[in-house]
Amino acid sequence: MLAFMYSRKGGSSNNQSVYKFASVKMGKVIRVESSLEYDACFHLEYSKDITSFVSQPCGVEYVLNGIKRTFFPDFLAESQKHGLHYLEIKRLNLNLEPNFGKENRQLKI
């Protein structure tokens, strides 16, 4: 089972909506920050390939253009086929914009 010491506390800001997904697979309530992430929980929960998953798993610190930043992936999932992998959940039309993720494309985790 996945567990992390350094994670972002979802829902602490007044600007964030908090959704709660009751996961039988993980045996706990998973807190997420958007309806898209909530929908993704269903895919992670019912995928036979996914063995475990956590929301807002850890902060990844990196330096880009001389500026120290912290990136928080939406999920860390463990699958039978691919092992551990980070997931970032975004709307399809946002992903199609040419400048979307320009900075994060340079981030190799």
Ordered structural domains, the chain, with CATH: 19-106 (3.40.1350.10)
pLDDT(6) > 80: no
Higher local confidence (pLDDT), 90 or 50: 50
CA atoms of 54 and 49, how far apart (whole Å): 15
For the range 63-66, what are the long-range contacts, defined as Cβ-Cβ under 8 Å and sequence gap of 24 or more? 64/103, 64/106, 64/107
Average pLDDT on 30-36 reads 95
Model confidence, pTM = 0.72
